Structure 1
């Protein structure tokens, strides 16, 4: 009996030691996990967000939550941030992320995966800026061929009666603010890089025309803001029968337009007579954006001019686009210094209200409108209710890309 009791006691002791040992190892593992940061918190916000994007989307073609490779404007937006980040830090990890995208999406013949020129979608031009960068860096012929294909789309792209690019072939006679960002910075960079003399002058005249048309048809004199879309035909249900404009001001559309202005000016010739007009458009918009900045948070609402209306919310992508555009506008000398304070207040608002950091250091940007448009099927009518009820998600690239760019501008 004593032997049996001794065996039982010994077994209990061994079991206790094993349990304690497992518990200690588990606690040790948990502590190690706490100490291991995927994204270091001593980095600047631009790098923290870029590394977080790489954690979420190991391949750049996955940006915008794609499950298979697809040529898209969002990749060009985020990778522009990576390009600027690489220039600033010299860290190869950022360049390699861009290069892997180029190699995946452009084959040896210069064909762009999933791209279809016949759709005449102005959105498809934007990621061409990434190819311009890669061609400049590598000199690889395939990138040049792909760039030339995108440029050819602009030659044949359908236009309004006054020469404005349609947003898409499936959206006839329509110009959207989004389209200015999607097409014009690429068009301007291509022209500066490859065109000379009369051909270049003609192209820059055409680029200026796009902004002139949107100012003429979409700008509201009372607020200084620009409507999301304009339908020359007045046939769309969302279009005002007199003016052709959509009913509301959408912050991301305005953000696309603001970024288009500051980015096009990087390549627009100093001597061109329309350069001063583009700078004037930017100054007019800066006044209006300051008027509608939320005084408490420093952010901007989804429907820009209706902050107090039920259902409206402080939206991340438009806010980050405005911050980037204002800060860059000041740095480049297009805007008065006072707008840097507007940008800084907005940026602090993003950090205070829209940024969340996980235990592993991964950074999330919240309250991003996933998508909004006009027309289509199901039909998007451009009403207030439509804009405030579109899906909201975290880490949409239309927010994270501008956040990286804004962070670089403010060096935070």
Structure 2
């Protein structure tokens, strides 16, 4: 089987031990490729003043929130300043009229929690009111499109970022209830019984809607489900489950059902990893399809999910630890481009994708960067380095 050529590069994780008078200090973490990707994202790809209120950028912003949580006081200011500038720059256009718009609102909720400024809380409440008005499927699932009712697997994560941050802000479990409702509604319509993964979309009626991006006629005439199991779409699901479990209390009434869904999900994706590269394929279940290719953003998402399961002691270290190792090392070897000046850029990223048939997914443009590319790489790399004790 033919694959894209791999990039060769040096490992960028450095540890050193300083010995003074024969006594070794605690290992100290130096900058890794995660920091190099973060810097390029903030300084070159999406300067805060140019922040665009959209889903890809929201994923990158969520990675910066996680870096904020993991950083010391000095570096925290860098991330807080970026998030504040980005939210202030987009404040007047911020809304929650569809899931991709709701996604960036987690930045507003984060600022309301960290700064206590009332304007951010007021904006969050406005966006939540918008969210409640989004069209819904008969089972309560929020439509991915405002013009017609369709359930897409992407939606679960786009809503998840905002709802979890609202829970962190308020402590009100109604936001967790919202997430669980959406997860269950989407799972009901999108789950593929054979693989345990989700197809990309489901249409609520018999009329095909032309969104200018998807292939016309994608819904099955009987089930109204799309035909393909797409890697990044399933990546969003794993990250949403991981972050929900990492946020809610172990005593929450929602815990057991989310844990069950998480373990079933990991059991479905784990056997599909390409051991040589540590990556997953664009269409993950079609491992023997000659046109299929290894895709990095979904790889980072799947690996993030597994790493978070290891961090939360939900997964067996002997079984799943090597999978996380393979992905981390595989990304370094295969899916990072050295951009000079200490920058690194995610490579092997499939571009923005709507719903189509097998050839549609396998014909997507392979690009680099993208908000979801930066975000997924940073979140996985950070989680992995924390799991391995490389970041204190």
Bin the TM-score by the shorter chain: 0.7 to 0.9
Which residue, 46, 50, 53 being the options, matches 1:71?
53
Residues 184 and 358 from structure 1, CA distance in 2 versus in 1: closer, same or farther, beyond 3 angstroms?
closer
5 Å matches for 1:203-282? Answer: 203-236=175-208, 237-282=217-262
Greater strand proportion: 2
Q: Conserved in 1, the CA contact under 8 Å of 2:100 and 2:158?
A: yes
Q: Which 5+ residue runs of structure 2 have no aligned equivalent? A: 1-11, 15-29, 209-216
Q: From the CA coordinates, give the structure whose radius of gyration is larger.
A: 1
Which residue is 1:285 aligned to?
265
- Is 2:130 aligned against 1:156? no
Deviations 1:145-196 (A, max 9, x none): 21111111222121111111111212x2211110000012322331453365
Contact 2:190 2:225 in 1 (8 A): yes
Closer, same or farther: CA 82–409 of 1 in aligned 2, 3 Å: same
Deviation at 1:322, TM superposition (A): 0.9
The 1:395/1:188 distance shift into structure 2, 3 A limit, reads closer
Contact kept? 1:176, 1:229, Cα under 8 Å: yes
TM-score, length-scaled by structure 1: 0.79
Partner of 2:47: 59
Alpha-carbon separation, structure 2, partners of 1:233 and 1:269? 38
Deviation digits for residues 316-341 of structure 1, max 9, x if unmatched? 11111111111112212333333232
Contact 1:298–1:348 under 8 Å retained in 2: yes
Structure 1 counterpart of 2:36: 48
Partner residue of 1:167?
144
Residue 269 of structure 1: how far off its partner (Å)? 4.4
* CA–CA distance in structure 2, aligned partners of residues 312 and 101 of structure 1: 37
Q: Which residue of 1 aligns with 2:158?
A: 182
* 1:61 and 1:70 in contact (8 A); partners too: no
Question: Structure 1 unaligned runs (5+)?
Answer: 1-38, 63-68, 107-111, 375-381
- Residue in 1 aligned with 2:289? 309
What is the total number of aligned residue pairs between the two structures? Answer: 348
Cα offset for 1:143?
Answer: 1.0
| Alpha-carbon distance change, 79 to 232 in structure 1, aligned in 2, over 3 angstroms | same
Q: Which moved more, 1:252-261 or 1:96-105?
A: 96-105
Secondary structure of the residue aligned to 1:241 is coil
CA-atom RMSD in angstroms: 2.2
TM-aligned CA distance change 1:333 to 1:297, over 3 Å: same
Which residue in 2 is equivalent to 1:36? none
